[in-house]
Structure 1
Amino acid sequence: MEIEYRRLKEKDLDIFIDMRIRQLREEGATEDIDLRPNLKDYYKRHLADGTFVSWLAVNGEKIIGTSGMSFVEKPPYFSCPTGKIGLLSSMFTDKNYRRKGIAKELLSRVVADAKAYGCGCVQITASNMGVLLYTNFGFVKNGNFMQYNF
């Protein structure tokens, strides 16, 4: 099995979005709305302006793993003096390819991108499945994540 790693391109978006939706469903999402148009709009805009990056794992022509990093900026604070934050998302590996180091390699690449962008930290809301990957990489759990919805 020869796995290659390459950056996400606009031509990959339909497959990337399908994998993102599979990931959300695996993590327990049950909402019955079509996210595809909103996801496509988001990825096209943020790929173009450089505030979203992604690495893909590819076996032949088949995309088997995805990663994503969105860059946001907040007022600087002590644990993130640049104010630039990488928001990790879209970490997904096809079930047939799990436990082979693919997610770790994808994670290494997008974290390196965040560092190069000038981010002071990377954040993720980890699924139960991802906690071990992130902990082994050096992420520290922060139980204060909260969200307000309109």
Structure 2
Amino acid sequence: MKIEYRRLTENELNVFISMRIKQLREEGATEEIDLTASLLQYYTHHMADGTFVSWLAFDGDKIIGTSGMSFVEKPPYFGCPSGKIGLLSSMFTAPSYRRKGIARELLSRVINDAKEYGCGVIQITASDMGIKLYSNFGFVHNSNFMQYKL
């Protein structure tokens, strides 16, 4: 098995979106709305302006792993003087390819993109399955994360 890594392009967006939806459901999402159009609009816009990047893992022509990083800015603070933050998302590996280092390689690549963008920190809301990967990579749990749904 030879895994190849390539950047996401518009050519793979439909497969990428379907894998993102599978990932959300695997993580326990229960809202049964069709996100396809919203995701397509988001990725198309943010890929074009450089505020979303993704690496894909391929086995032949088949996409078997995904990653994503959105770049946002907020006022600088002591923990992130640039104010540039990477929001990690879309980390997914097809079940039969898990535990082979694919997610770690994808994570490494999007983190390098975040460094090049000038991000001072990277944040993720980790699934139970991903916590070990992120902890081993050096991510630290922040128990202060809160969310208010509108």
TM-score (norm 1): 0.99
CA distance in 2, matches of 1:144, 1:21: 27
SS in 1 for 2:79: coil
1:94 is aligned to 94
How far is 1:68 from its partner?
0.1
CA distance in 1, matches of 2:132, 2:115: 22
Q: Alpha-carbon deviations, 1:65-120, whole Å to 9, x = none?
A: 00000000000000001000000000000001000000000000000000000000
How far is 1:144 from its partner?
1.1
Check if 1:128 corresponds to 2:128.
yes
CA distance in 2, matches of 1:13, 1:145: 30
Q: What is the root-mean-square deviation of aligned Cα atoms in Å?
A: 0.4
CA distance in 2, matches of 1:37, 1:72: 22
Structure 1, unpaired ranges of 5+: none
1:48 is aligned to 48
CA distance in 2, matches of 1:147, 1:115: 26
SS in 1 for 2:75: coil
CA distance in 2, matches of 1:121, 1:115: 9
SS in 1 for 2:33: coil
Structure 2, unpaired ranges of 5+: none
Check if 1:73 corresponds to 2:73.
yes
Amino acid at match of 1:47: M
1:4 is aligned to 4
CA distance in 1, matches of 2:147, 2:13: 28
SS in 1 for 2:66: strand
Check if 1:63 corresponds to 2:73.
no
Q: Alpha-carbon deviations, 1:24-73, whole Å to 9, x = none?
A: 00100011100000000000000000000000000000000000000000
1:34 is aligned to 34
1:149 is aligned to 149
2:25 is aligned to 25
